[in-house]
Amino acid sequence: MQVLILGCGDIGTRVGLSLLEKDWDVTAVRRNPDLLPEGFERRGADLTDEKALSDLLLVEPDYVVVTPMPQSYDPLGYRAGFAGVAKILAGQRWFSKCRRAIWISSTRVYAESQGGWVDEHSPLNTAEPQAMAMVAAEATIRRAVTATIIRPAGVYGDPEGMLMRRVRAGEGGETGAIYGNRIHREDLSQLIVHCLERDAAGGSVPPTLVGADDDQAPTHEVEDWLAARLNVTLSRQAGRSIARGNRRCRNALLKKIDFRLSYPTWREGYEATLNQA
């Protein structure tokens, strides 16, 4: 099988390396292709460049994985990085011919912000411009191709990630019952691989998947746990919070497609992360 990974950063690279081990052919695209591993067919392109994406016509991939990123963190950057990229892809003939596309979105698309539960069918956010750009991108992709939209919660696992850096510096967010949702970067990459392999084998793959682990602990609990492991005393200041949403993500559909998390909660995931540091 041939997979084309667009915007191939950390997650895409992990997906590609796993698929290489399974004898798939991997073509990967990112702005700086020199950062891609050997074994990948490496292409340099900006996903917002329509001409560059048109040049991928000769690849003829069976599957396409897209890990879009905002061009900046304001509404304009989200519209360019998500809705804009989706529109460009939808106009490519080669894209519509693939067997399935995997588009990585975010749980930020959900409207819930009062601590309630969300799943694949929950109402979407039509008030925040950044979320609206991601919602629009999802809809464009669905119209263009058979697709699975994966909405991951906060992706962690990098020893130099934001939360780890803040805790090491003794900086904590506000306390309070603000739910958090997470998925380890290895679990997210393996979920993508699982969907691709399942589809290639003729199995059913849902049109939408919430990518989250089994725990919805508030961020301050995670900070306290990490601080204890690192022997750090946290200083908490009012108004300092890294939580973007207050919701609880159901991941029951992952089990229904026979996917098993390697890190079912953040405790196992951060323990592994600390061991890498």
Looking up residue 104, the CATH number of its domain turns out to be: 3.40.50.720
Of 73, 104, 271, 250, give the one whose Cα is nearest residue 179. 250
Q: What is the enclosing helix (H) or strand (E) of 227?
A: helix 219-230
**Residue at 225 is within a domain:** no
pLDDT value at residue 184: 98
Domain range enclosing 139: 2-156+183-214+247-262
pLDDT band at 28 (very low <50, low <70, confident <90, very high): very high
pLDDT value at residue 143: 98
**Residue at 227 is within a domain:** no
202-258: pLDDT as tens digits: 999 999 999 999 999 998 999 999 999 999 999 987 655 554 578 999 999 999 999
CB 270 within 8 A of CB 195: no
**Residue at 236 is within a domain:** no
**Residue at 203 is within a domain:** yes
How many folded domains does the chain comprise? Answer: 1
For the CA atoms of 270, 130, 86, 6, the dihedral, rounded to the nearest 10 degrees, stands at: -30
**Residue at 277 is within a domain:** no
Residue corresponding to tokens 């950390």: 10
pTM, to two decimals: 0.96
25 pLDDT exceeds 80? Answer: yes
118-174: pLDDT as tens digits: 999 999 999 999 999 999 999 999 999 999 999 999 999 999 999 999 999 999 887
For the CA atoms of 180, 186, 192, 195, the dihedral, rounded to the nearest 10 degrees, stands at: -100
pLDDT value at residue 173: 83
pLDDT value at residue 238: 66
Say how far apart CA 7 and CA 47 lie, in whole Å.
7
For residue 61, what are its two tokens? Answer: 């991939």
**Residue at 268 is within a domain:** no
**Residue at 78 is within a domain:** yes
49-81: pLDDT as tens digits: 999 999 898 889 999 999 999 999 999 999 999
**Residue at 168 is within a domain:** no
